[in-house]
């Protein structure tokens, strides 16, 4: 079974995570998928296979050399984004010759290079797309398929010398909890790579510092005909708070190293409104200032409407750059592997986060490598077949280079 066959099989599993369940894994489909993968790894003859009650699956490809070689790992996540359904995914292969791709004729869902110019980079390639009703799941089932395919290739080609290789597939990355119960000591790698990046060539060791803020506005409801001087409409107060934030510091107006405030949820009535923001910035000092700005605006609201607003801010993860920079040889090695496989490395910051960020702070340095997919978390997600094939080759080459060096 090649990487494409695996991927097409894997996306049939419904593994959408859910941050509201307070369970690990957050949804039962992730454990179903993990058990399937465990059986596949057993059939491949891997060793030290473990699957714990929280859905963390680990396995080993033993070293085939007597030389002292570092133990390295490759990691991908089982879940897909809560942003769109991952149930009954119907992938389709398209030989792309440019222009629009009709995903769903009945619903007139079209993916066009006018809205998605990155399509122009893949003219002449086979693409795997959705039917317009669900996301695809390349994030991160492409990564899982690439890791399993690479490990099988190494096992079937013992002439390629390598050290001990550890692999892990974990739940709930999409809701920021993928590394929370990851047993770094049990994994036992000197360093690892998450196969969770986007377009071919991406290599990332910088990510956002991240926090979530929830602001609760408590109003006072009375009959609107007799409300003067009495009513406090929490929805209007929340709206006043929102427009106090910098207009241009939002996801749709920022790029590269620019941070933002992102309103991701609002639910309210006159009596109570809750707003949820995510806060992102690559620079730690600016990140801390953003949190302080939200606290400052909360105080301003309370100066006008005493006691109405309450804020809770929780850090989610930090920029792994500070943990990776002292170990830049692991980045150089991945770059060399890409170049050896004919891939141009694109070292760039992640405008998001990966499990690798949290793992790096737990003692497992873990930069991120492309898995090939694009337009994650929605119906326009796609993955070029050659990108998955190259990612598989890069994994194999990293293992070879580590043993060689």
* Predicted local distance difference test score (pLDDT) of residue 176: 86
E strands, 112-208, in order: 126-129, 165-170, 191-197, 202-204
Distance CA 35, CA 41 (A): 10
What residues form DSSP beta bridges with 215? Answer: 275, 311
Three-state DSSP class for residue 193:
strand
Q: Give buried/exposed letters for 154-167 (b at 16+ CB in 10 A, else e).
A: bbeeeebbbbbbbb
Q: Which domains does the chain have, with CATH numbers?
A: 3-206+319-404 (3.40.630.10), 209-316 (3.30.70.360)
Catalytic residue among 14, 79, 355, 389: 79
- Any catalytic annotation for residue 174? no
* Predicted local distance difference test score (pLDDT) of residue 353: 81
pLDDT tens-digit map of 351-377 = 988 899 999 999 999 999 999 999 999
Average confidence score pLDDT of the chain: 96
Alpha helices by DSSP H, listed for 121-233, are: 138-156, 184-187
**Which secondary structure element, helix H or strand E, spans residue 381, and what is its range?**
none
pLDDT tens-digit map of 249-299 = 999 999 999 999 999 999 999 999 999 999 999 999 999 999 999 999 999
Q: Please give the DSSP secondary-structure letter assigned to residue 220.
A: B
How many other C-beta atoms lie within 10 A of the C-beta of residue 170? Answer: 29
CA atoms lying within 13 Å on the CB side of residue 379? 14
* Predicted local distance difference test score (pLDDT) of residue 363: 96
Q: Nearest-CA neighbor of 381 among 6, 62, 90? A: 90
- Any catalytic annotation for residue 79? yes
Catalytic residue among 173, 204, 281, 389: 173
* Predicted local distance difference test score (pLDDT) of residue 219: 97
Per-10-residue mean pLDDT of the chain, 405 residues long, equals 97 96 97 98 98 98 95 98 95 97 96 96 98 97 98 97 98 93 98 96 96 97 95 97 97 95 96 97 97 98 97 94 95 98 95 90 96 96 98 98 93
Q: Nearest-CA neighbor of 271 among 213, 310, 318, 218? A: 218
pLDDT tens-digit map of 327-339 = 999 999 999 999 9
Q: Are 367 and 203 in contact (CB under 8 A)?
A: yes
């Amino acid at each position: 079974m090649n990487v494409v066959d695996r991927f097409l099989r894997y996306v049939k599993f419904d593994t959408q995570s859910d941050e509201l369940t307070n369970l690990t894994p957050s949804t039962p489909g992730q454990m179903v998928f993990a058990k399937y993968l465990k059986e596949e790894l057993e059939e491949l003859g891997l060793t030290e296979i473990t699957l714990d009650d929280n859905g963390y699956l680990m396995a080993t490809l033993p070293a085939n050399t007597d030389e002292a070689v570092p133990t390295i790992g490759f990691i991908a996540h089982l879940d897909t984004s809560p942003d769109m359904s991952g149930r009954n995914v119907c992938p389709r292969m398209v030989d792309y010759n440019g222009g629009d791709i009709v995903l769903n004729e009945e619903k007139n869902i079209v993916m066009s290079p006018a809205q998605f110019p990155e399509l122009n980079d893949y003219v002449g390639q086979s693409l795997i797309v959705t039917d317009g009703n669900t996301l695809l799941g390349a994030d991160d089932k492409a990564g899982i398929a690439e890791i399993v395919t690479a490990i099988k290739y190494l096992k079937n080609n013992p002439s390629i010398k390598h050290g001990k290789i550890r692999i892990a597939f974990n739940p709930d990355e999409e809701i920021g909890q993928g590394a929370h119960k990851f047993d770094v000591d049990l994994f036992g790698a000197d360093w690892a790579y998450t196969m969770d990046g986007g377009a071919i060539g991406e290599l990332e060791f910088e990510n956002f510092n991240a926090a979530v803020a929830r602001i609760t506005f408590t109003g006072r409801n009375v009959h609107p005909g007799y409300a003067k001087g009495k009513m406090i409409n929490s929805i209007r107060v929340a709206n006043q708070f929102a427009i106090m934030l910098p207009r241009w510091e939002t996801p749709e107006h920022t790029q590269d190293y620019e941070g933002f405030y992102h309103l991701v949820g609002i639910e309210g009535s006159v009596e109570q409104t809750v707003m949820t923001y995510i806060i992102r910035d690559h620079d730690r000092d600016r990140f801390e200032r953003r949190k302080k700005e939200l606290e400052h605006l909360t105080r301003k609201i309370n100066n006008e409407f005493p006691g109405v607003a309450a804020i809770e801010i929780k850090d989610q993860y930090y920029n792994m750059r500070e943990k990776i920079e002292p170990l830049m040889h692991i980045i150089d090695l991945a770059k060399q592997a890409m170049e050896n496989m004919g891939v141009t490395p694109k070292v760039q910051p992640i405008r998001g986060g990966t499990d690798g960020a949290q793992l790096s702070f737990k003692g497992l340095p873990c930069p991120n490598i492309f898995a090939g997919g694009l337009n994650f978390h929605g119906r326009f997600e796609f993955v070029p077949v050659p990108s998955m094939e190259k990612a598989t080759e890069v994994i194999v080459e990293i293992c070879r280079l580590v043993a060689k060096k």
